[in-house]
Amino acid sequence: MATAYCMKCRKKVEIKNPKQVALRNNSLAVQGVCSVCGAKVFRIGKA
């Protein structure tokens, strides 16, 4: 399960609907929504 830091919850949360995305510089990131509050979360790195 992918995790990311949620700015709203101020803690690490599970990423709901994690999606692997490529940044402009071709590095990978994971984008999804916080499983706790539903805010968008983002993490640099592989899923």
Contact residues for Zn ion (CB under 5 A)?
A: 6, 8-9, 34, 36-37, 39
Answer for the pair 40, 17: CB distance below 8 angstroms, yes or no.
no
- Nearest CB to Zn ion, comparing residues 17 and 25: 17
Shortest reach from residue 18's CB to Zn ion, in Å: 14
CA distance 36 to 3: 12
Answer for the pair 17, 30: CB distance below 8 angstroms, yes or no.
no
- Nearest CB to Zn ion, comparing residues 6 and 30: 6
- Nearest CB to Zn ion, comparing residues 15 and 34: 34
**Which amino acid, one-letter code, is at 3?**
T
